[in-house]
Chain A
Amino acid sequence: MNRPIIEISNLVKRYEMGNEEVYALRDVSLTIGSNEYVAIMGPSGSGKSTLMNMLGCLDTPTAGTYFFNGQDVREMNDDDLAEIRNREIGFVFQTFNLLPRATALQNVELPLVYSGVGKAERQDRAKQALEKVQLSDRMTHRPNELSGGQRQRVAIARAIVTAPSIILADEPTGNLDTKTGHDIMALFRSLWEGGNTVILVTHEEDVARHARRIIRLRDGRIESDKVNPDA
């Protein structure tokens, strides 16, 4: 395995709902290395979303340890987490989550705004990212002037513009038709081939099939963690 990026051991996430304690994750240990292509699968309620939130540094664990590139995530406050999300993680959402009033270019620039990159460099890098997803000709379009597939490409460009350590995609084809979904999966594949680390969270076998390693969750535990024989 390449240099590890994500090192999770004995991770527990517990929520309090009223007087009841709910364990979303119980004792999960997991290591993901650089330039892996991983799919995290599981039925709803399996703890898949909670694990994704953990991996994406949107939430911190109740117990256990989580090191991201050697940094202890449990020790971090809100702003530290924001910074690590900004620099290390590129999110791709099922519903794209683009800002409706901003152009494609401005949407892609946004993470760079938050990391304090100057305007000229920001626009340069955003244009390059849009080129990588073949949307150079749609830079000044707003989301409502783009098709679903194009919107997801903009979102992917936004995810890769900061050159993050991982690209974390949550059901990235969930809102797309089959054909467009295939195109998007091909794009992820080429990003992976280009040296990126890609983590997909999905419940669709068809999507998970593209990954090189498939982790299956059930009831907050890892049920299986295997190399994908089909890939």
Chain B
Amino acid sequence: MNALESVSIAIDAVRSQKLRSGLTLLSVGIGVFAIIAATSIMSTLSRAVSGQLADLGENSLLIQRTPTINFGTNWAKMRRRKNITYMQAKEFRDRMSSTNQIAISNQNPGMTVKSGQESTNPDVTLIGIDEMYFVVNAVSVSAGRPVTESEVATSRPVAIIGQDVVAALFPKVDPVGQLITLKNQSFLVIGVLTKKGGVLGQSQDNRVLIPITVFNKYYTWEWDASVDISVKAINKLMLMETKDEATGIMRALRGVKPWEENNFEIDANDALSGQFSGFTSAILAVAWISGLGALVAAGIGIMNMMLVSVKERTREIGVRKALGARRRWIIRQFLVESITLCQLGGTFGMLGGIAASWGVTELLREAMPSITYVFPTATVIFSIVICTIIGLAFGMYPAWRAAKLDPIEALRYE
């Protein structure tokens, strides 16, 4: 009867002091809400993004002048790095012996693509590729064909377009064989990319691929604008060895002294997802710190509520002590009560957090069709535990005050 009775007393207390307890429960709720919602949204996102990063091609390395996603690194140092030129990349490709699956590419976001009277928004990503692009990356064409080696070598004005561009320019006709215009240059559409969806709201289908030689001629600020090199190891076991060889060759080509660090980035897929997780951890840290802060504030509210409760029930405590309640019984009663209060607020926060993160997932589904909601089981368990700890920690002092009341004075209390 005792624990249950304490639970029902706690619920009575909430009912009789609606505003005061409402505010306290609200702050518990906000704390739990922040933690649950952030964790759930971030784990849902990371699952979706690492799925997308895996699409870049398994067992692949990406060599770039600067990192894709960057946190806390020294940008001044990054900017001083020399470009990876197309010539340097081709030299690299020729020297590599552990694999021949090497693709060189470069990109330029924010292009406008036109065809006749039709025009896209100025947000199309133009990517300069070579014939290995479709081999190394998990990208394929759903109609037409990829570019050939000779088209790259001879700078032919051909293009492969993504589904978003198809929708904007050729909603009714077969795009293969049509002409498109990019900054006054005309291209023949030879293929259409398979639909991929998006990462973080950025569509992977809103792009146009052209031979990198053409790209370098018309769409970079200077001839030697930095290119990206994708290297695919022949299998997973060879990945580290391939990475070592690639690192060595790049250092030699770029004249890095033995005691200097790399002046380029070389990352496997998992490292790229690692960079993304650096981004999510930053958001999570903010959410958790503010969530825990709200919970501590809530704890102080709970302590205040419990002190009032002890005061209001002084006489009852006196009766219980007269009837033979030991100190630990009194302590237990009030702790159960404060834990109940915390759990009550926590439950609301938890339901809210789950609902919010589920809602966000649904909103993102438009941009990322592959997204699946990740239920934050571990965080839910953690919130229950942390609510119990807050209830214990901040209920202890009021409970102790109750337990050490003098029964005679408590019985006399009006």
The chain A residues found within 8 Å of chain B, CB to CB, are 53, 56, 58-59, 78-79, 82-83, 85-87, 91, 93, 97, 99, 101-102, 106, 109-111, 113-115, 119, 158
Contact = CB atoms under 8 A, between A and B. Distances in A.
Given A58-B407, A58-B408, A97-B411, A114 B324 contact: yes
B327 interface: yes
A208 B10 CA distance: 42
B321 A119 contact: no
B6 to A, nearest CB: 11
Contacts of B327: 78-79, 82
B411 A93 contact: yes
B8 interface: yes
28 contacts: A56-B322, A58-B322, A58-B408, A58-B411, A78-B327, A79-B326, A82-B324, A82-B326, A82-B327, A83-B324, A83-B326, A85-B321, A85-B322, A87-B324, A91-B322, A93-B411, A97-B322, A99-B316, A101-B5, A110-B323, A111-B323, A111-B324, A114-B320, A114-B323, A114-B324, A114-B325, A114-B326, A115-B324
A129 B394 CA distance: 39
A85 B324 contact: yes
Given A79-B327, A85-B323, 12 more contacts: A58-B322, A82-B321, A82-B325, A85-B322, A86-B323, A86-B324, A101-B8, A101-B12, A111-B324, A114-B323, A114-B326, A158-B323
Contacts of B2: 113
A101 B319 CA distance: 14
B279 interface: no
Nearest to A84: B324
B329 interface: yes
B1 interface: yes
A141 B82 CA distance: 87
Interface of B: 1-2, 5, 8-9, 12, 315-316, 318-327, 329, 407-408, 411
A53 B407 CA distance: 10
Nearest to B412: A49
A interface secondary structure, majority: helix
B interface secondary structure, majority: helix
Given A53-B408, A114-B329, A106 B324 contact: no
B30 to A, nearest CB: 30
B320 A110 contact: yes
A59 B321 CA distance: 12
B9 A113 contact: no
Nearest to B8: A101
A85 B5 CA distance: 22
Task: Pick from B8, B329, B408 the residue with the most CB of A within 10 Å.
Answer: B408
Contacts of A115: 324
Contacts of B322: 56, 58, 85, 91, 97
A91 B323 contact: yes
A53 B8 CA distance: 32
A119 to B, nearest CB: 7
B319 A97 contact: yes
B76 to A, nearest CB: 69
A158 B319 CA distance: 12
Contacts of A119: 1
Contacts of A158: 323
B323 A101 contact: no
A114 B323 CA distance: 8
Contacts of A58: 322, 407-408, 411
A109 B321 CA distance: 15
Given A58-B407, A99-B316, A106 B1 contact: yes
A79 B325 CA distance: 8
B410 to A, nearest CB: 10
Contacts of A110: 320, 323
Contacts of B8: 101
A58 B322 CA distance: 7
B54 to A, nearest CB: 58
Contact of B319 (A53, A99, A106): A99
Contacts of B408: 53, 58-59
Nearest to A155: B319
Nearest to A98: B319
A82 B8 CA distance: 25
A87 B326 CA distance: 12
